[in-house]
Amino acid sequence: MTTAPSPSLRPGGPSADRSTIVAARATELSKIYGRGETQVVALDRVSVDFRQAEFTAIMGPSGSGKSTLMHCVAGLDTFSAGSVRIGDTELGSLKDKQLTKLRRDKIGFIFQAFNLLPTLTALENITLPMDIAGRKPDKQWLDSVIRMIGLSDRLGHRPSQLSGGQQQRVAVARALASRPEIIFGDEPTGNLDSRSGAEVLGFLRNSVRELGQTVVMVTHDPVAAAYADRVVFLADGRIVDEVYGPTADSVLDRMRNLPGGSPQTPESEARGRTS
């Protein structure tokens, strides 16, 4: 499990100032797989806002629809009904090419696998998406991102010369570099040991606090979720709960009371694999 955030850095809870600008919004979003007897309702009329400069964690039992929600809101998957907005743009109205451009220009992704190119240096990996898009990075912004990831002395190293946590920090910097409207992370610390996980989560949180970035992260880990400003809980394809200023304990408590279940901690997952 990831190392807990230090209490002094925790967000202020329900009374803390929150942005009212919506970076992404799902309205009555449904996603149905298959039909007839094999039909699965993965999302059932989900409405949720992700506000600018807020760090949201999405949690819920296995199969509750977390990845589906993230993929639909991030324009990586189609939906069956409802609508999704990134900034002012309705995704449903976009053609494939426009959707690809929107993903490239407005959205950053961080996955469990770091997906860095082994032959490029850390810095080249960070600027690669913009190089491909033919865009020049905003130098001041890039400098702030690089200063924040704390890898200034390793920018010329290749991924194999960096630890797992450092590689994932490079991947986070790559997602941040183009200053996207919103960053989505799918279990971004799932492959890291607790110390490296804490480094990456601390860095993500700083990007929200110091740079005003918007971050949405799917996680199974209550300690990772405690780095967020807010946790949204899914069960059976619906949003069933929400908590601001989470702690690992408050998240665990809520998870225990969800339909379908207790959270998957690394320990319980390991038990599942071996039983």
Positions touching ligand ATP (CB under 6 A) are 33-34, 40, 42, 60, 62-68
Which CB, 130 or 235, lies closer to ligand ATP? 235
What is the CB neighbour count within 10 angstroms for residue 114? 22
Spatial CA neighbour of 228 closest among 249, 253, 248? 248
Q: Output the smallest distance, CB 270 to ligand ATP, in A.
A: 15
Spatial CA neighbour of 44 closest among 243, 257, 234, 263? 234
Which CB, 63 or 261, lies closer to ligand ATP? 63
Which CB, 52 or 68, lies closer to ligand ATP? 68
Q: Output the smallest distance, CB 257 to ligand ATP, in A.
A: 17
Secondary structure (DSSP) of 90-121: EGGG--HHHHHHHHHHHEEEE-SS----TTS-
User: Would you say 57 and 231 are in contact if contact means Cβ atoms under 8 Å apart?
Assistant: yes
User: Would you say 233 and 241 are in contact if contact means Cβ atoms under 8 Å apart?
Assistant: yes
Which CB, 15 or 39, lies closer to ligand ATP? 39
Between vectors from CA 230 to CA 226 and to CA 236, what angle results, nearest 5°? 100
Q: Output the smallest distance, CB 65 to ligand ATP, in A.
A: 4
DSSP 237: T
Which CB, 162 or 234, lies closer to ligand ATP? 234
Q: Output the smallest distance, CB 239 to ligand ATP, in A.
A: 12
Q: Output the smallest distance, CB 63 to ligand ATP, in A.
A: 4
> In whole angstroms, what is the distance from residue 250 CA to residue 262 CA?
13
